[in-house]
Amino acid sequence: MNGVLVLDKPKGITSHKAVSEVNKIIKAKRAGHTGTLDPFATGVLPICFNKATKIIPYMKNDFKKYEALIHLGISTDTLDNTGQVIKELDPGILNKSAVIDVFSKYKGKINQIPPMFSAIKKDGVRLYKLARKGIEVERTPREVTINRIELLEFNPPFIRFMVECSRGTYIRVLASDISNDLGCGGHLTDLRRIESDGFTIEEAVTIEDIKSGHIELKSLNDVLSHMKEVKVSSDLASQIRLGKQIKKSHMNLNDLPDFEAGDHLKFYENLSLVSITQAKVDSSELGDLDDQTIVFKLLRVFN
């Protein structure tokens, strides 16, 4: 069983626990998810089984999309509803236009300081372990991109919004920064991922669905649909599976798609995925190259 299942992760369990619960039913030899959701968060958690675990680094790396809820006026040490309250302020009188004005500051490339309650390491120690001891250390800001941020509902002291952001964005930090800019502080009290790695919440199934037999796996070809495809002969497929790099002489140049150096391409023998490769040259350069030039570097090989 090879493929990707799109889980609607329930609240209250870690992503690792969610994978374990699903794999008790699937019984795959290998299973892994593509991006952690905090225990209090719900939503899209793609889980890869068997051969699909080898393609996780090469899956579509689009913006992730979340729906989030901020509780204004109450700040916590974790920046979410799992932490201890450290400050309370009256939000006062706020209106939608004030919220939208603050949102506008966070569009495009921004810098975020990772929270102390995170799995980032400092001198080999996870930050959350230091935070639990009351230790705070300096963290290097990270650049992330907010593609879209939209107000969905303003019902003081709550702000519900949608955000489309790059991988590595801390929505807890975004919620805290927005709350501080509004002058009252606040914390993230609900988070739901509605899109990740090209998968949407509409495609997701629950653990209860899976227990009742509703198991729908996305094929490797579907998951890699963003990559250009190269069809190869059985002889070349055998050589690739032995780890031999792909030279110009191995290829029928007329069958190749256009590509640029650095592009990832998927190689198929009939309907079987043989390898994921990286182009070392532009396709426009092929005519000028020696037959022994390595054109594609093997990144992953599938037996």
Enumerate the domain spans of the chain.
3-61+198-222, 64-186, 227-301
Which residue out of 38, 77, 80, 177 is catalytically annotated? 38
Q: Is the pLDDT of residue 291 over 80?
A: yes
Rounded mean pLDDT of 160-176? 96
CATH pick for 227-301 out of 2.30.130.10, 1.10.8.60, 3.40.50.960, 1.10.3720.10: 2.30.130.10
Strand partners, 149: 163
**Between 3.20.20.150, 3.30.70.330, 3.40.630.30, 3.30.2350.10, what CATH number should domain 64-186 receive?**
3.30.2350.10
pLDDT digits (tens, 9 = 90+) for 15-73: 999 999 999 999 999 999 988 899 999 999 999 999 999 999 998 877 899 999 999 99
Q: Is 38 a catalytic residue?
A: yes
Angle between helices 96-104 and 171-181 (to 10 degrees): 120
φ, ψ for residue 289, nearest 5 deg: -95, 150
In tens, the pLDDT along 137-162 reads 888 899 999 999 999 999 999 999 99
Residue of 16, 3, 12 whose CA lies nearest to 51: 3
As a CATH number, domain 3-61+198-222 is 3.30.2350.10
Predicted confidence at residue 12, as pLDDT, reads 94
How many helices (H) and strands (E) would you count in the chain? 7, 18
What pLDDT, in 10s, does the model give residues 226-247? 999 999 999 999 999 999 999 9
Extract the tokens encoding 24. Answer: 């008790």
> Helix H segments across the chain?
15-26, 96-104, 127-132, 171-181, 207-211, 220-223, 234-241
